[in-house]
Amino acid sequence: MSTLANIAINDITKKYKNASFESLSNVFFSIQAGKIIGILGPNGAGKTTLISILCGLTEPTKGSVAYQTEDNKTIIGVDLKKIIGFVPQEYAFYHELTPAQNMNYFGSLYSLSKDEIKQKTDSLLSILGLADVAHKKINTFSGGMKRKVNLAIGLIHSPAILFLDEPTVGVDVQSKLSIIDFLKETRQQGTTIIYTSHHLSEAEDFCDDILLISKGNVVANGATKDVIQKNNAKDLQSLFIKLTQTE
């Protein structure tokens, strides 16, 4: 299969059954492969719904998402699942197991060989500073260590697209910096990162592009610095307050 070139989001609208309003309304934007994009907005703005649609977990009421290769072919089905990694805000692993055991389990779900799982496990846990605790039960770990395990599991199959939902929430400063530095290196290797966070100073430094949502509508979209300047805001936090103050 050719390399992922871009993701096109075309007129996405989502209204849940019995809801009195649309969670998302006519959302258009595109994501260039290899970039980091932040999907930002207040609680209830529609971020989680949009991420769920992009991951294929939720069907839109209207519109479509197209994952396209360099030769303009659309990636679908099993091929799409193979290139997507998802790191949720909630811990998505077995606490009574060790990091190595979790990596072995989740790697097998992607049909990786034992050698591939071992190589990825050793590499990721070493880079994330978890090599010394690879065989210790996770239920003894700190919050920052658990976040790193969550991240390692999401990357076990070397996805082309990585979805991150609040990847640094509730961790200490050192762990936060370590995670962000690791993610920047992951991006340098060609991974597309789609990220949500309420840490706006972190997002301003981390994201190439931002998509700001308010009440299900896109209120700003584009290169992070350009969007801030265009709206005469001094930083991302000021922009956020300015464009979502009626939320």
Residues 183-227 have pLDDT tens digits of 999 999 999 999 999 999 999 999 999 999 999 999 999 999 999
Work out the average pLDDT over 125-141: 96
**What 8-state DSSP symbol labels residue 227?**
H
Residue positions counted in the chain? 247
Q: What is d(CA 119, CA 113) in angstroms, rounded to the nearest whole number?
A: 10
Residue 61 · residue 87 · CB < 8 Å = no
Q: What is d(CA 85, CA 61) in angstroms, rounded to the nearest whole number?
A: 24
Res 2: pLDDT: 56
Q: What is d(CA 55, CA 57) in angstroms, rounded to the nearest whole number?
A: 6
Domains of the chain: residue spans and CATH: 4-244 (3.40.50.300)
pLDDT in tens, 94-123: 999 999 999 999 999 999 999 999 999 999
Closest CA to 203 of 219, 227, 180: 180
Other CB atoms within a 10 A radius of the CB of residue 91 amount to: 15
User: Residue 221: phi, psi to the nearest 5?
Assistant: -160, 130
Q: For residue 90, give the amino acid letter.
A: E
pLDDT in tens, 117-132: 999 999 999 999 999 9
Instruction: Concatenate the DSSP letters of all residues of 72-112 into one string.
Output: SPBP-HHHHHHHEEEE-SS--S-TTS-HHHHHHHHHHHTT-
Res 26: pLDDT: 96
Burial class (CB in 10 A: 0-12, 13-18, 19+), 96: exposed
